[in-house]
Amino acid sequence: MTNPLKISSHSTEITWSAAERLADVRYAVGARLKSSDGVFLTEALAGWIGAKGEPFAVLADASGLCATNADYRAIASRFFRQHRYTARIALINLGPLIHVVVELFRLGTVRLKTFSSEADTRSWLGAKAISA
């Protein structure tokens, strides 16, 4: 896989900053994530982060996200558990249903935090040695 700076699917747009080791994830309005979306996300991240075990971060704006199914959650969870010591996930604009899903996902998976603003999100990522 080549390492494009920006890739898109029907539901998700991911912009990767190699210098910051930051994936900026945005969802299409009304997105309902399923297994193919999980594969899209994790394959992109795996290609960008490499195998050296260097830290990386994901900043996800969930404003368009409506739902995730069990298959998506399993794929994402498996990937982030493999990277629990090197990954940080920061989320903004979560609706009530997605907030509950995120809280369940957080348990035992990875360093993950929700925020009310993108500025706060970037500040937290920067304070955790992930330049954002």
Range of the domain at 18: 6-127
Domain annotation covers residue 32: yes
Give a yes or no: residue 1 inside a domain. Answer: no
Higher pLDDT, 108 or 6: 6
What CATH number does residue 89 fall under? 3.30.750.24
Q: Is residue 122 part of a domain?
A: yes
Q: State the pLDDT at residue 1.
A: 40
Distance CA 3, CA 129 (A): 23
pLDDT band at 114 (very low <50, low <70, confident <90, very high): confident
The average confidence (pLDDT) of the chain is 85
pLDDT bucket at 126, cuts 50 / 70 / 90: confident
Give a yes or no: residue 100 inside a domain.
yes
Does any domain span residue 40?
Answer: yes
The average pLDDT across 11-37 equals 95
Q: What is the largest CA-CA distance in the chain?
A: 36
Mean pLDDT of 105-128: 73
Per-residue pLDDT tens for 32-82? 999 999 999 999 999 999 989 899 999 999 998 999 999 998 999 899 989
Look at residue 97 and tell me if it is in a domain: yes
Average pLDDT over residues 74-97: 88
Domain-located, residue 132: no
Asked whether residue 4 carries a pLDDT value surpassing 60, the answer given is no
Query: What contacts 31, CB < 8 A, 6 or more positions away?
Result: 11, 12, 37, 64, 65, 66, 67
Tell me the mean pLDDT in the region 81-104.
80
Overall domain count for the chain: 1
pTM above 0.85, yes or no: no
Q: Does the residue 91 lie in any domain?
A: yes
The arrangement of strands across the sheet holding 12-17 comes to 6-8, 12-17, 22-27, 56-61, 87-92, 111-115
